[in-house]
Structure 1
Amino acid sequence: MRQNPSFAMTDVAEIRRLIARNPWVTLVSQTDTGLVASHYAVLLDEDRDDLTIVGHVGKPDDLIHGLGERELLIVVQGPHGYISPGWYDDAPAVPTWNFISAHLSGVPEVLSTEENLAVLDRLVDHFEGGMPEPRRLWERPNDDAFVRRLEKGTVGFRLTPTRVVAKRKLSQNRPAETVEHIVDMLREGGPHPNPALADEMARAHAARPPR
């Protein structure tokens, strides 16, 4: 992802927030036969306060990606959407796309069986926690043998990125009144409703220093 200083996102807390709110990521590796991509859910490592993430892949994706042996690129995609030139002022303009994204690169560490089980348990708890009747990993009808068979079909990993490129392109280069108008358009409905993107734009706009 090409960086632009005007849109660079360097605050670790903001990137952590992006990952926490958008755990479904893309894993990309360079292999002997070309690029390969997979899609999995990840979580921030609860024992760290940096950008370390944990997750798992299903076998044989560990071999396909060379997990633990070569660099892995993880793409985190936040809210994104179309921005019409009609939402700007009368100055010449073309359509654009606003977005938030982060690229985390590094060689992941392969987890032990018990560590992988702990990550799988956390993943289930994280997503099941809000259900009316959560189905926990270790609770019936699952039993110990079932869970351990499940684990054997996966490989857990921990990635502490050695390179991070994060970008938040939310019309920061536009006047305040233009940003506010775009936010209104995204919330109004119409052909391109996008309340999640509107919320991120409003949040970023509120944090901008006064000019």
Structure 2
Amino acid sequence: MHPNTRFHWQDREAMADFVRTIGFGTLFAETPDGPRVAHLPGLLEGDRLFFHLANGNALRRHLEGKTALFVITGADAYVSPDWYGEPDHVPTWNYVSVELEGSVAKLSKDELVAGIDALAAEHEGRLEKTPWTRAKMADGLFDKMTGAITGFAMEVKAWRGTIKLGQNQSEQARRGAADAIEANGRAAIAHWMRNLDA
């Protein structure tokens, strides 16, 4: 989380929507071999985050009962000082990110299957097509494939959000930077900057 409190994101509901919408993040945890990371989809339901790892992943055997950190990063962009239209600025980076910290528990096979079904339903429901379900797979193949992964749930104890969009600049400077950022191909973060107070 950014140390400047002006960039702290306090709206839990908005952060939860952000995590659910993106649905993919980075899981960090300490292991006897040092810190490890995994990039994976996660499904947030209340204060519970479902995820799964390949059995060969270096984190898998060290997670149960441990504290982990799951980070979702959204839109971002470099900000040139020239784009503010005012003197005496330095280069910076604008971004949106949420950190979820909590204890991790291993799931049963039934819980893993339910989590995969829920994860697929969440994302398939956003697509303009007939949703995929495991019923479309050959008999026995889903069970074989789920034998190669392990399901986990994190009970989220801490939510930390950063929404760094130039709040420390004048509205005119922020909008000028947003225009330049969009002109340079980063429309998503420009949209966030323009709608900061919406």
- TM-based fold match above 0.5: yes
Q: Deviations over 1:120-168 (max 9, x none)?
A: 11222333331535432222x433x211122221111221222222111
Match in the other structure for 2:159: 164
Cα 1:107–1:77 change in 2 (3 A) is: same
Match in the other structure for 2:24: 24
Match in the other structure for 2:102: 106
Contact 1:100 1:167 in 2 (8 A): yes
After the TM superposition, which residues 26-175 of structure 1 pair with which residues of structure 2 at under 5 Å, given as runs?
A: 26-45=26-45, 48=46, 51-61=47-57, 64=60, 66-129=62-125, 130-139=127-136, 141-143=137-139, 145-175=140-170
| Aligned-residue offset at 1:185 | 1.7
| Aligned-residue offset at 1:109 | 2.0
User: Which amino acid in 1 is paired with 2:69?
Assistant: L
Match in the other structure for 1:202: 194
Q: Write the distance in 2 (CA, Å) between the matches of 1:127 and 1:142.
A: 22
Report the RMSD for the aligned CA atoms in angstroms. Answer: 1.9
Q: Write the distance in 2 (CA, Å) between the matches of 1:150 and 1:158.
A: 19
Q: Deviations over 1:77-102 (max 9, x none)?
A: 01111111111133211111000111
Contact 1:3 1:167 in 2 (8 A): no
Q: Deviations over 1:173-202 (max 9, x none)?
A: 111111221222222x2xx32111111112
Gaps of 5+ in 2: none
SS at match of 1:60: coil
Which structure's residues are more often strand, by fraction?
A: 2
Same amino acid, percent of matched pairs: 26
